[in-house]
Structure 1
Amino acid sequence: MGGLTFVDVCSGAGGLALGLEQAGFEPRLLLDDDEQAVSTLRANRPQWSVLHADLLDFDPSEHPVSYDVDLLAAGLPRVKSSATVGRADSRVEERLLEATVYLVHAIKPRAVLIDNVPGLAHSDEYQQFREFAHAELTHLGYKFSWFVLNAVDFGVPQNRRQGVLVAVERQRAGAFRPPMPTVKEPMTVGAALEASMASRGWKDAARWTTQADRPAPTLVGGSRNRGGADLGPTGAKNTWATMGVNAHTVGDVIPGPDFEWDPELGRDGMVKITVEQAALLQGFPETWEITGRKTARYRQVGQATPPPVGRALGRSVLAALNGEE
């Protein structure tokens, strides 16, 4: 069996969809409520059917192409944190999780894949959703697995833990196995960005590469209700500082030959990561274009599922649907 199909909701910049495509799936329909994300998807894959719509308002009966697919995938926004509990962002995320499960009733895919924060798989904070998903999906004839993956185990130069739900039709569920790591040694920030940092003649690129000798902390895209782009909370910023990176902002351009890199001078002496470089740290190919203004572009990148993780998950689901033990 080949050419399996999928619907992807909350598609964002397309990280999960790209990974699934690389694994051998063919997209029937993608949707996102963010105009810039839709623009990104259409810029990179003009042949994909991309719908600008809110998942909470999506009616599959108006889009019959979404029926009879092999996989329903959802890389839902990663905005849940102690800082967002009680805010509107927090409840929206919960509603998107529930809406994805309800959508299973309508389109009846052979498998379901939901990717979100690591707490989705085990945290008390998500216990109510797990019970809801268990009741709904068991009733519909699925068996499922909860597990946590770290993107760094799949060649992504970033420590990024993800909580994953995979549900497969009961008769094929026994063949599903969570993906195993694809690399033995983690890729470092320096190794991932060395060529990029040197591309405009920056004389300290090689020296910086040596100092950037570890994977990146988790990139955080933030929500549309918050201000400018940065590389994450205080702990992440401190880790970036040890690599000589000013994580309090996102750079506009890669350093040129005149940039003096001296982290001892503070932020002004540190290098900044650009949106394009952040995309490389998420495992996107260099050719993947992120559209929009800087903050909107970085938000798309930070919210994305790294494509190598999507590819690994897709291959595991594909093996189960093809009955490969």
Structure 2
Amino acid sequence: MKFVDLFSCGGGISTGFARTGRFTPIGAVDLEVAKPSHPVGATACDDTYEANLGLRPLSADLAVISPEDVAAHFGFKPNDVDLLISCAPCTGFSQKQSRNHARDDSRNHLVERTAVYAEAWKPKYVVVENVKELLRGRHKHHYQGLHRRLTELGYDVFAEVHDLKHLGLPQSRIRSLIVAKLGGRFEWHVPERQSFATVRDAIGHLPAVQAGEQHPDDPMHVSPRMTDGSMARMQAIPKDGGSWTDIPEKLAHLRIPSMNSKKPGSFPDIYGRLAWDRQAPTVTRECSHPGNGRYSHPEQDRLLTVREMALIQGFPADYQFKGSLSFKYRQIGDAVPPVVAGQIARAILADIDGELEATSQASGQLSLSV
């Protein structure tokens, strides 16, 4: 099956589909935008996508570029597209962004742009992943608009919120999962696991490295250097799940202003260590600094390396990231976890195989599985 990936980032969701061996990317688009102060292309995510998937994404603004222009750039026809992947930015929906409670971010309209491409190409399946607020939050009308338009086009829409740890991710990550099927009903019984992959399962086998040190056998097994102050703060936090709240009073001078135990809602996870035998908390695009969340190694005094962060995010162990160190982390945090994408891909393949079997049986022929 051939697919096009809109908002392709560093290729996380494309990789999950491609590594099943039954999906091939024929187009991908990402503007590579980070902060307004960064130029277009700064995130280097298109370099990462190309390095791992062998296809160079088109750097373009999906708010304005047409499906016809995308198809012309890659040289495919509308009926070549079997699957459309469209994971628009989640920043404008996330409840963690206080401004989202007051205004509707203009980027949220990109969710509804998905229907423009679905109408032009008529793919058999459309896949969307986003934060849970897309289905449940203040600005869920954008999903409702997409649902209405896809339904008008003849799609059946499956949409549920799940913690992705149920799909094999060693991380608690609650997300909206949406799969639309053209001309038929799509059903997916997402498993409810009783046991889950842990931090130890994901990274416990990796060799130790120091902060700022790159392992000689894996250039991705590297983390940022730390200042003397940050290192002292890290060393004061207990191993295996410790937090800044565990820093003893005699070392209170190591705390920074956001470490305020008297202030309700202070940030309990900053400089926090992961716990070996639990799932990691949600990895975000800000995971490149220990002061941004619970992203530090359970035992070693440093931030998780790029490789460790990628494994926590469900990337294959041989994945290569391009660009600056901080943008490598951003590409990981922005990604749809490939291990989860692979589960979505297999659910679609099961649906396809079920249709083929039903068609074969109806026609009195032998059942064949492709």
Once the two structures are TM-superposed, the CA of residue 90 in structure 1 deviates from its matched residue by 5.8
* Partner Cα separation in structure 2 for residue 86 and residue 188 of structure 1: 32
Q: Does the C-alpha gap of structure 1 residues 286 and 66 become closer, same or farther in structure 2, counting only changes over 3 Å? A: farther
Higher RCO, 1 vs 2 (CA within 8 Å, ≥6 residues apart)? 1
| Paired letter, 1:230 | H
Q: Does the C-alpha gap of structure 1 residues 219 and 25 become closer, same or farther in structure 2, counting only changes over 3 Å? A: same
* Partner Cα separation in structure 1 for residue 109 and residue 344 of structure 2: 24
Residue 318 (str. 1) matches residue 328 (str. 2): no
Once the two structures are TM-superposed, the CA of residue 152 in structure 1 deviates from its matched residue by 1.4
| Paired letter, 2:85 | A
Residue 105 (str. 1) matches residue 119 (str. 2): yes
| Paired letter, 2:146 | A
Write out per-residue CA displacement over residues 166-202 of structure 1, whole angstroms, 9 at most, x where no aligned residue. Answer: 11113x22x5324435x6521111231122243769x
Mapping of residues 189-268 of structure 1, within 5 Å: 189-198=199-208, 212-222=276-286, 229-230=288-289, 236-237=293-294, 244=298
Report how many residues are paired.
279
| Paired letter, 1:25 | F
Mapping of residues 28-39 of structure 1, within 5 Å: 28-34=26-32, 35=41, 36-39=44-47
Match of 1:57 in 2: 64
Q: Which residue of the other structure, out of 65, 69, 82, is the alignment partner of 1:70?
A: 82
| Alignment check: 8 A CA contact 1:142 1:168 kept | yes
Unaligned runs of 5+ in 2: 33-40, 210-214, 217-238, 242-273, 359-370
TM-score (norm 1): 0.76
* Partner Cα separation in structure 1 for residue 119 and residue 290 of structure 2: 38
Q: Which residue of the other structure, out of 5, 13, 31, is the alignment partner of 1:8?
A: 5
Once the two structures are TM-superposed, the CA of residue 143 in structure 1 deviates from its matched residue by 1.1
* Partner Cα separation in structure 1 for residue 103 and residue 306 of structure 2: 24
Write out per-residue CA displacement over residues 133-178 of structure 1, whole angstroms, 9 at most, x where no aligned residue. Answer: 22211110111111122221222211111101211113x22x5324
Once the two structures are TM-superposed, the CA of residue 307 in structure 1 deviates from its matched residue by 0.6
Match of 2:147 in 1: 134
| CA radius of gyration, larger in | 2
SS of the counterpart of 2:282? Answer: coil
> By percentage of residues, which structure has more helix?
1
Write out per-residue CA displacement over residues 10-29 of structure 1, whole angstroms, 9 at most, x where no aligned residue. Answer: 01111100111123211111
| Paired letter, 1:229 | S
Once the two structures are TM-superposed, the CA of residue 52 in structure 1 deviates from its matched residue by 1.8
| Alignment check: 8 A CA contact 1:219 1:231 kept | no
Q: Does the C-alpha gap of structure 1 residues 86 and 116 become closer, same or farther in structure 2, counting only changes over 3 Å? A: closer
Match of 1:185 in 2: 195
| Paired letter, 2:157 | F
SS of the counterpart of 1:81? Answer: coil
Q: Does the C-alpha gap of structure 1 residues 87 and 161 become closer, same or farther in structure 2, counting only changes over 3 Å? A: closer
Q: Which residue of the other structure, out of 73, 87, 96, is the alignment partner of 2:110?
A: 96
| Alignment check: 8 A CA contact 2:49 2:56 kept | no
SS of the counterpart of 2:139? Answer: helix
* Partner Cα separation in structure 2 for residue 230 and residue 93 of structure 1: 26
| Alignment check: 8 A CA contact 2:313 2:337 kept | yes
TM-score (norm 2): 0.68
* Partner Cα separation in structure 2 for residue 231 and residue 291 of structure 1: 21
Among the aligned pairs, what percent are the same residue?
A: 29
Once the two structures are TM-superposed, the CA of residue 125 in structure 1 deviates from its matched residue by 1.6
Unaligned runs of 5+ in 1: 202-206, 223-227, 246-260, 262-269
Mapping of residues 74-85 of structure 1, within 5 Å: 74-79=86-91, 80-82=93-95, 83=97, 85=99
* Partner Cα separation in structure 2 for residue 116 and residue 137 of structure 1: 17
Q: Which residue of the other structure, out of 132, 135, 138, is the alignment partner of 1:125?
A: 138
Q: Which residue of the other structure, out of 286, 300, 311, is the alignment partner of 2:331?
A: 300
User: Cα RMSD between the aligned structures?
Assistant: 3.0
SS of the counterpart of 1:213? Answer: coil
* Partner Cα separation in structure 2 for residue 89 and residue 220 of structure 1: 22
